[in-house]
Amino acid sequence: MNISVLKQRLNGKYKLTQQRQMIFQILNSDENHHFSAEDIYEIIRRENPQIGLATIYRTLELLNTLDIVQQLDFGDGRHRYEINGLHSFHYHVICESCGKVAEIKKDLFDKLAIPIDGMPGFSIHEYRLYVYGCCEECQPQSGHPAC
């Protein structure tokens, strides 16, 4: 997604401030990274030390409300964000030792997928699947019971 699409999605109701643009550019910079508000804060502080963490949280909340970003909860108490529509449907695998998140393409799980169309009494809007394990870096030295 580029800045012109972001402007369009803000729909004239919200200004495209420098802070919003910087946050969007960080989220858009690496499609394989799932940034937390704290990650974004650390990156932005290098260029703009005046920006506060509260501004980042408010901006992420706005972008999530406008369906520009998706808020992800991997169960570790830190929300992470990715740009909606940046890539095709996928799942996430999370390292239980270091918290690293990687994407798994949908076709790897197609055989396991639960048929969600036609579930009696439900209109399904969204579903999520998170896979937990240990990444390559953590497997050899980790004392984590899952590794």
pLDDT in tens, 55-105: 999 999 999 999 888 898 877 788 989 888 655 566 788 888 888 888 777
Q: What is the pLDDT of residue 142?
A: 61
Q: What is the pLDDT of residue 53?
A: 96
Report the range of poorest mean pLDDT among 92-96, 124-128, 131-135. 124-128
Q: What is the pLDDT of residue 62?
A: 94
Q: Which residue has the higher pLDDT, 127 or 15?
A: 15
75-80: Cβ within 8 A, 24+ apart:
75/130, 78/36, 78/38, 79/36, 79/37, 80/34, 80/35, 80/36
**CATH 1.10.10.10 residue ranges for the chain:** 3-83
CATH of 90-133, picked from 3.30.1490, 2.60.120, 2.40.160, 1.10.287, is 3.30.1490
Cα separations in angstroms, 6 against 11, 18, 91: 9, 13, 25
Q: How confident is the model at residue 52 (pLDDT cuts 50, 70, 90)?
A: very high
Record the pTM: 0.70
Q: What is the dihedral of CA 88, 65, 6, 48, to 10 degrees?
A: -110
Query: In the CATH scheme, what is the code of domain 3-83?
Result: 1.10.10.10
**CATH 3.30.1490 residue ranges for the chain:** 90-133
Q: How confident is the model at residue 24 (pLDDT cuts 50, 70, 90)?
A: very high
